[in-house]
Amino acid sequence: ARLAGIDTESPVPKYYQLKEIIRDMIEKEELRAGQAIPSEREFCERYGISRMTARQAIMELVNEGLLYREQGRGTFVAEKKLQQEAVRLTSFTQDMRDRGMRASSRVLEMEVEPAGPVVARMLGVDRGTRIVRLRRVRDADGEPMALETSHLLYEVARGVLDVDLSERSLYEELRKAGVRMSRAEQSYEAGLVSEAEAEHLGVPAGSPALLIERITFDQNDRPFEYVKSTYRADRYRVTTVLHP
Ligand code: GLP
């Protein structure tokens, strides 16, 4: 149902009702991503509320990431965050395809090198074991979403060294090479976009980031991939289904 107005009889605070109204307008695409929302004054006139109330509603929606402010220009509707359901073992390419978006990558580095102590421990191999280190910016419909550094056992991944991964999926290439992925262990952590990452991700340094680490296992339950990624927290959220 259309949320028509503010109910002054309701025990629900007015600012909260206004938040719901704005949320509803975004949901129904009466307000679209990138579009300016009405000014505080317009909200006041339209709904018969105080400036304070309008301000609080807008401020909270900015804090929640649904709206963003631009100095001197106004308040706008943010792009919807991409959701990743953290259950299935999928690739970035697959995740984007499922949403009707096109994945592409900018390959920053692809090197064969000896495993350092951390990578060796994560992959359960000796230090110095040859690995392929692949660093990519991951784009969705041409917009940067994440920076990803994969460490792959050379033995398993050497075939991808000659593949142009800018338009191709690493996982699909590995599958073609006979790798069967059985499971992955993944962790999430809050963080900030570093100076070095900022330019690749197209956001200011210090922006919120979602740090994801993954270890992926093959059919023999051997880890073959250790990945660290920095996702833009303004564009990405993770959901899980919990079972009792
Ligand atoms: C996701 C995972 C990575 C994996 C990548 C493969 O982003 N977090 O661990 O390496 O997908 O992506 P693609 O097959 O699209 O190259």
pLDDT in tens, 112-160: 999 999 999 999 999 999 999 999 999 999 999 999 999 999 999 999 9
Q: Are residues 139 and 202 in the same domain?
A: yes
pLDDT of residue 2: 44
The number of angstroms, rounded, from the C-alpha of 39 to the middle of its chain's C-alpha atoms is 30
State the total domains in the chain: 2
Report which protein residue has its CA nearest ligand 1's atom 6: 91
135 Cβ inside 6 Å of ligand 1: no
104 Cβ inside 6 Å of ligand 1: no
Closest CA to 114 of 127, 102, 105: 127
Is residue 8 in a domain? no
Q: Are residues 104 and 146 in the same domain?
A: yes
pLDDT in tens, 8-60: 888 899 999 999 999 999 989 999 999 999 999 999 999 999 999 999 999 99
92 Cβ inside 6 Å of ligand 1: yes
Q: Which residues on adjacent β-strands are paired with residue 209?
A: 191, 232
Nearest-atom number in ligand 1 for the CA of 105 is 16
Q: Are residues 72 and 181 in the same domain?
A: no
Q: Which residues on adjacent β-strands are paired with residue 192?
A: 208
Is residue 103 in a domain? yes
Is residue 202 in a domain? yes
Name residues whose C-beta falls within 8 Å of residue 194's C-beta, 6 or more positions apart in sequence: 205, 230
Nearest-atom number in ligand 1 for the CA of 212 is 8
How far is ligand 1, taken at its centre, from the CA of residue 65, in Å?
26
Find the CATH number of the domain harbouring 188: 3.40.1410.10
231 Cβ inside 6 Å of ligand 1: no
pLDDT in tens, 77-120: 998 877 766 678 999 999 899 888 999 999 999 999 999 999 99
| Domain assignment of residue 133, given as a range | 82-239
Q: Are residues 179 and 93 in the same domain?
A: yes
91 Cβ inside 6 Å of ligand 1: yes
**Position 47, amino acid:** Y
157 Cβ inside 6 Å of ligand 1: no
Q: Which two tokens stand for residue 148?
A: 């990803």
pLDDT in tens, 162-204: 999 999 999 999 999 999 999 999 999 999 999 999 999 999 9
Is residue 2 in a domain? no
Report which protein residue has its CA nearest ligand 1's atom 4: 91
230 Cβ inside 6 Å of ligand 1: no
